Structure 1
Amino acid sequence: VEGGTEEQQRVFYTALYHALIHPNLLSDVNGEYPLMENFGVGRSEHDRYTVFSLWDTYRNVHQLLTLVYPERQIDMVRSMIGMYEEWGWMPKWELYGRETFTMEGDPAIPVITDTWIKGLRDFDIGKAYEAFLKSATTPGARNRMRPDIDPYVERGYIPLGFYAKDLAGDVSVSHALEYYIADHALSLLADSLGHREDAKRFRERSLGYRHYYDKEYGSFRPINPDGSFLTPFDPRAGENFSAAPGFHEGSAWNYTFYVPHDVEGLARLMGGRKRFVEKLQMVFDEGLYDPANEPDIAYPYLFSYFKGEEWRTQREVARLLETYFTTAPDGIPGNDDTGTMSAWAVFSMMGFYPDCPGEPYYTLTAPVFDRVEIATSRGPLTIEAKGAGAGTRYIRSMTLGGKPLRKYRISHDELLGGGTLAFELKTTEQ
């Protein structure tokens, strides 16, 4: 990177360093490694990786690796598929050949789907798809990845009290929201592989989040076993990692906009674009956004789904970078979660972010540097920002490959094929 302040460069390269610590090599120099969930020794012709903190890293770390270090990402995908072959399930939060079952969801699906759709394909996608179908269809009593899948399939949601074996207690809404995202990614992969009926089935499943939306509070709300909403209910309960029924490490507001695969559909539920934007802005204005945890990490980029509101993304991203990413001892917002918070900073400082795991798209924002150069698998990618500097946090105009660019969300292919993404920045949103 070129330009920016010395502190911004230090923040950027520190974040990049943090993002590359994990996953880390598990295999020895001769290719041997401990088999997943047993005491045997395996041997691989490729690098075998470990420490797959996937609930965290499926959101941005693997997208960064796919963009900048594709050969390492391919070996990480091969490692995940190898784990499935060795113990029958994809990793959720793997640590040195053992599954910790930390957090929730089915996060290997969006990681591998994203990798495949972006054109990195030197791995056994058929074996991966087999694994995904297993976790997405096996009844809960025999499902290591989705133990509460039965009501999810039958009703489209998970009620309170059905499964509460996590250390955090009953986090049914958080579980279901993760499954919706995984099933959306699975629908994209199924479509890519020509499995049209599977694609339709999993896309329909991914829209079950609508069950949780409560018009009274304008937020997601846990559902009782009888189908009624939890009462009493406080959408702010759960702030600062305190316990709240239905939600893991957060409040209802940390999760209510956590539907990256159907932002427009969620806006319709809320009463339209204007109401959606007002409520999302309220989350930032009233301190309900948590910069130190994953569920709402993409919130700043959701404004850009609506024409004329993109400036809000640019403002909030700049403010968050300035406030929470510094060179001080507390210069990252809380636990870095194996590089996830740092990857957020790396992408945001470059001017784009993968806001929906599994979808090969980036939402654009104002870069902090004059120039960024990335060596990609398809040649050099250059990002230029005319006028970058203190106070210039808004986009006046953009070009991609020398042609005017008027949309704020572009595909991976468009970005890599453009060669140069150029911004002209300004100091005010007007």
Structure 2
Amino acid sequence: VKGGSDEQKRVFYTGLYHALIHPNVLNDVNGQYPKMESAENGHSTYDRYTVFSLWDTYRNLHQLMTLVYPERQIDMVRSMVDMSKEWGWLPKWELYGRETFTMEGDPSLPVIVDTWRKGLTDFDIDAAYEAMKRSATTPGKDNPMRPDIDLYLEKAYVPLGVYSGDMSGDNSVSHALEYYVADAALAWLAEQRGDTDLARTLRQRSLGYKNYYSKESGTLRPKLADGTFLSPFDPRQGENFEVVPGFHEGSAWNYTFFVPHDVDGLVKLMGGKRKFVDKLQMVMDSALYDPANEPDIAYPYLFSRFGGEEWRTQKEVNRLLGKYFTTKPDGIPGNDDTGTMSGWAVFSMMGMYPDCPGEPFYTLTSPVFDEVEIDLPEGRKLTIEADRTSPSDIYIQSMTLGGKPLKKYRISHDELLKGGTLKFNLGPTPKK
């Protein structure tokens, strides 16, 4: 990178360092490694990885590996698929050959689909697909990845208290929201493989978040098995990581906008673009956004889905970087979660962010550096340039990709790589 302040460079390269600590190589120099959930040794001809903190890393770290270190990402996916061959299931939160079942969801699915859609295909997609279908369809009693899948399939949501048996410690909404993202990713792959009925089922299932939307609270809200909403209900409860019905490590506000695969559908639920944008801005202004945890990590980028509102993304991302990512001892907003918080900073400082796991797209924002150069396979390069007159020029006035004017703020992975050079013209005032 070139340009920016010395502190910004330190933050950036420290973030990159953090992002490369895990997943880490598991096999010994002779290729031996402990098989998944087994006392036996396996032998790998590639780098076998471990420490897949996937509830965290599926949101941005694996996308960073795919873009900047594709040779590492492909080995990570091979490792995940081989784990499924060894014990039947893809990892959720794997640690040195053991599944910890930490957090929720089915996060391997979006990682694998995202990687495949970005052109990294040198792995056993047939085995991966079978393992993905297994976790998305196997009944709960035989499904360690989705033990609460039965009522999810029946009702298109996970009812409060049914799986855990304890409403106070129930994470039902959080569970379901993660399943929706995974099922949306798998639906695309199923369609590509000709499983049209399964694709249709998965796509419909991924829209089940609508069951949780409460017009009264204006948020997603836990729901009982009989279809009624939890009452009484405080959407702010959970802000300080206390145990709260329906949500894991956060409040309803930390989860309400977490529908990355169907933003348009969520906009309609909330009453249209203006109401959506105003509510999202209220979340940012009222400190209801938590920069230290994953569920709402992509919130600032949602503004750029709407013409004339993209400046809000540029403003918020710039503000968050300056406030929460520094060279001080507390220079990240919270637990780095095996590089996920750092992944957010690295992407944001480069001027883009992977806004939906499983979809090969990036939302653009103003980079903090004058130039970023990324080495690509076959000797190619991706260059990101910013033309500004002062550090306070944080608002995008115009953009070009490959020398051609670029009007949209969300571009595909292929467009980005084929463009060669992404250039931003920045100014001190918003372009509305």
For normalisation by structure 1, the TM-score amounts to 0.98
Q: Which residue of 2 aligns with 1:179?
A: 179
- Name the SS for the 1:385 alignment partner: strand
The amino acid of 1:391's aligned partner reads S
- Name the SS for the 1:323 alignment partner: helix
Q: Which residue of 2 aligns with 1:6?
A: 6
Q: Which runs of structure 2 are paired with 1:21-420 in the superposition (5 Å)?
A: 21-164=21-164, 169-377=169-377, 379-387=380-388, 389-420=390-421
- Name the SS for the 2:181 alignment partner: helix
Cα distance per residue 1:51-85 (max 9 Å; x no partner): 00000000000000000111110110010011101
- Name the SS for the 2:111 alignment partner: helix
**How far apart in 2 are the matches of 1:259 and 1:381?**
30
**How far apart in 2 are the matches of 1:355 and 1:323?**
22
- Name the SS for the 2:169 alignment partner: coil
Give the Å deviation of 1:225: 2.0
- Name the SS for the 1:397 alignment partner: strand
CA contact (8 A) 1:219 1:235 kept: yes
Across the aligned residues of Structure 1 and Structure 2, the Cα RMSD in angstroms comes to 1.2
- Name the SS for the 2:261 alignment partner: coil
Instruction: Compare 263-272 and 382-391 and name the one that shifted more.
Output: 382-391
The amino acid of 1:355's aligned partner reads D
Cα distance per residue 1:157-189 (max 9 Å; x no partner): 010111128998200000000000000000111
The amino acid of 1:423's aligned partner reads F
Aligned length: 430
**How far apart in 2 are the matches of 1:168 and 1:311?**
40
**How far apart in 1 are the matches of 2:390 and 2:162?**
52
The amino acid of 1:41's aligned partner reads N
**How far apart in 2 are the matches of 1:166 and 1:207?**
26
CA contact (8 A) 1:31 1:45 kept: yes
CA contact (8 A) 1:368 1:389 kept: no
Give the Å deviation of 1:395: 0.1
**How far apart in 2 are the matches of 1:237 and 1:302?**
23
CA contact (8 A) 2:361 2:413 kept: yes
Give the Å deviation of 1:195: 2.4
**How far apart in 2 are the matches of 1:390 and 1:243?**
42
CA contact (8 A) 2:167 2:245 kept: no
- Name the SS for the 1:396 alignment partner: strand
Give the Å deviation of 1:196: 2.2
CA contact (8 A) 2:365 2:396 kept: yes
**How far apart in 1 are the matches of 2:390 and 2:236?**
36
Instruction: Compare 373-382 and 321-330 and name the one that shifted more.
Output: 373-382
Instruction: Compare 156-165 and 324-333 and name the one that shifted more.
Output: 156-165
- Name the SS for the 1:12 alignment partner: helix
**How far apart in 2 are the matches of 1:309 and 1:168?**
38
CA contact (8 A) 1:37 1:98 kept: yes
**How far apart in 2 are the matches of 1:98 and 1:165?**
26
**How far apart in 2 are the matches of 1:123 and 1:74?**
7
The amino acid of 1:410's aligned partner reads I
**How far apart in 2 are the matches of 1:14 and 1:409?**
27
The amino acid of 1:257's aligned partner reads F
Cα distance per residue 1:334-369 (max 9 Å; x no partner): 100000000000000000000100000000000000
**How far apart in 1 are the matches of 2:395 and 2:165?**
46
- Alpha-carbon distance change, 64 to 167 in structure 1, aligned in 2, over 3 angstroms: farther
**How far apart in 2 are the matches of 1:110 and 1:78?**
15
CA contact (8 A) 1:369 1:388 kept: no
- Name the SS for the 1:46 alignment partner: coil
Q: Which residue of 2 aligns with 1:15?
A: 15
**Percent identity among equivalent residues?**
71
**How far apart in 1 are the matches of 2:232 and 2:318?**
37
- Name the SS for the 2:408 alignment partner: coil
Give the Å deviation of 1:141: 0.8
Give the Å deviation of 1:191: 2.2
Give the Å deviation of 1:192: 2.7
Instruction: Compare 340-349 and 379-388 and name the one that shifted more.
Output: 379-388
**How far apart in 2 are the matches of 1:388 and 1:9?**
19
- Name the SS for the 2:321 alignment partner: helix
Unaligned runs of 5+ in 2: none
**How far apart in 2 are the matches of 1:187 and 1:168?**
33
CA contact (8 A) 2:26 2:48 kept: yes
- Alpha-carbon distance change, 57 to 421 in structure 1, aligned in 2, over 3 angstroms: same
The amino acid of 2:385's aligned partner reads E
- Name the SS for the 2:130 alignment partner: helix
**How far apart in 1 are the matches of 2:360 and 2:175?**
24
The amino acid of 2:320's aligned partner reads L
**How far apart in 2 are the matches of 1:102 and 1:23?**
16
**How far apart in 1 are the matches of 2:109 and 2:422?**
30
Cα distance per residue 1:353-389 (max 9 Å; x no partner): 0010000000000000000000122620000000064
The amino acid of 2:62's aligned partner reads H
CA contact (8 A) 1:351 1:366 kept: yes
Give the Å deviation of 1:198: 2.0
CA contact (8 A) 2:219 2:252 kept: yes
Give the Å deviation of 1:270: 0.3
- Alpha-carbon distance change, 230 to 168 in structure 1, aligned in 2, over 3 angstroms: closer
- Alpha-carbon distance change, 410 to 232 in structure 1, aligned in 2, over 3 angstroms: same
**How far apart in 2 are the matches of 1:234 and 1:85?**
44
**How far apart in 2 are the matches of 1:142 and 1:231?**
33
**How far apart in 1 are the matches of 2:298 and 2:346?**
14
**How far apart in 2 are the matches of 1:395 and 1:228?**
45
Instruction: Compare 195-204 and 283-292 and name the one that shifted more.
Output: 195-204
